Structure 1
């Protein structure tokens, strides 16, 4: 005789495991916090690996474009946590760039200047000069002025700007007398060829003398092997910063293609000594679809009251104009 099968038993004393679903929109909320953190703490992003910190700072305003898609996803998901965290990147962006959203103030000024990398392949110097002089500047600084094209630039500019200073591939055209012109050595160590992209001159204005620097820092290279290649640019910025620190004049202007934005830490040796206006993005590069202001007008002992970009010329950069209060 066989024994009856044992009855199945269950331990009803053990609680069932129940899965608690993750809050809806957690990924979206995390991305909002990340964007806010990058905006506020961009200086904490290390530059040791491919100069990622400088790369982020070069395009910092564009992080604001993350907000509309994050808002769309939060609404689509009907996520409370995503909607609650969304004001964080908005507040962070406004904290950095709120001045751009405000109407431009009508501030008195004494001087108008124009800065432009004209490109060594510019096919229309005369047309470019017409665009630059449309705002009636007192000073015009140019970079990438080749020896072959110098006569064309001088012919177009000299009638209205008879006072000129040229050193290497950078030049200054002025309505006012220019003196004490000299080279500023900003060549980075890695460049051994003939390379002259910095100069300093004294301009005698009705309000008094001002030291004017014109500079063109090395270009950046973005690639898989070296990342955001700013090493040469950074080395050149250090030399320019040292020259500015040694400048005895109380009033100093710097006009140039610095190949970096005001937020880029690689330009700290320069931007820690001189200031500019941030009431307009004034993006200057690349000309077909400007993404960053890498052409600058900065001052010490004077105030840059407004900076704005001018219409496109035959260059891959847009010209930048500025008003100065002395």
Structure 2
């Protein structure tokens, strides 16, 4: 009995070397085009974000989304690994360098130098938006536990005033409340005035606090809300605040509260030319809103004439905003 050998399978002709090279070259060209098409416009739009027109709220959204543009950079790096061309290098380096220039210095950890400052020469401030559902007594107690000398609260409703007074008045015997904002102080408040900042109602305070190392001019603000296509009143408030601070001749100034604007928002630029915000002690952006998964830093402490020794984001304690606590050395 004979056994027939199985029929041989047809062999595929090997692909030519030239065809493979052409395919690889095409992939690399497309990757290079993609890197340049994404990276270069991203760099230009980031560097000149204040020039992006605010049509349908595009400018507002882009300004406040800028810190998150870094998520595109790892993708461009992978594209560079595929392309391996000078064009792809440009597509990655351009937005990387712009992002690093704009945001790199601000995310470096500042550290904690509070222990090197005598108590009488130190000032600690805390600020938080109570939010629509936050327990005012719990939030106030949390800020008090931080050791703050000044506590600023925003979005205060009439029914919040009694629990806030019951929690804070014993350790902070000096206070002023105007509209939806309030300031509690361990030290005497020599003078205070409500600020409308271009609107028809009060959403800010300016008070002069007499600390053991001299007077400090303190502003507390709850800026109007900002949504795409609906942020004109917020812009007016921030512009008026910048002008008010610029006209303030006192050596030491604190401006804190809920600004409804991140640090890259063009509406804050004028104020940032008058006062500065310290880096976070542990680095990063110090995001404060929304409380569950913070995506933006809407709450700030800006200063002039003082040296920061500590700056950190605290717990939300039921608010939709995290609180912030900052300490400063009162330079004479």
TM-score by length of 2: 0.81
Unaligned runs of 5+ in 2: 1-24
Q: Partner residue of 2:3?
A: none
Match of 1:171 in 2: 182
- Rounded to whole Å, the distance in 2 between the matches of 1:150 and 1:106 is 34
Partner in structure 2 of residue 270 of structure 1 = 271
How far did 1:120 drift? 3.7
The CA deviation string for residues 130-165 of structure 1, in whole angstroms up to 9 with x for no partner, is 321232111110001111110001111112212111
User: How far did 1:274 drift?
Assistant: 1.2
Equivalent in 161, 169, 173 of residue 172 of structure 2: 161
Is the aligned partner of 1:29 residue 2:33?
no
CA distance in 1, matches of 2:34, 2:305: 48
> For residue 313 of structure 2, what is the aligned residue in structure 1?
309
Q: Are the counterparts in 2 of residues 302 and 324 from structure 1 also a CA contact under 8 Å?
A: yes
Give the corresponding residue for 2:216.
210
Give 1 or 2: higher helix fraction: 2
Alpha-carbon distance, 1:178 to partner: 1.1
Conservation of the 8 A alpha-carbon contact between 1:184 and 1:243: no
Q: CA deviation at 1:117?
A: 0.7
What residue number does 1:119 align with? 131
Alignment partners' CA distance in 2, 1:97 and 1:267: 15
- Deviation, structure 1 residue 324: 1.8
Unmatched runs of 5 consecutive residues or more in structure 1: 1-19
Root-mean-square deviation (CA), in Å? 2.2
Paired residues in the alignment total 294
Counterpart secondary structure, 1:136: coil
Distance in 2 (CA, whole Å) between partners of 1:54 and 1:257 is 17
Distance 2:296 2:251 in 1: 30
Alignment partner of 2:126: what SS? strand
TM-score, L = length of structure 1: 0.83
Q: CA deviation at 1:269?
A: 3.2
Retained in 2: the 8 A contact 1:187–1:196? no
Change in 2 beyond 3 A, CA 1:173/1:128:
same
The answer on whether the counterparts of 2:29 and 2:83 sit within 8 Å (CA) in structure 1 is no
Q: Is the 8 A contact 2:178 2:203 kept in 1?
A: yes
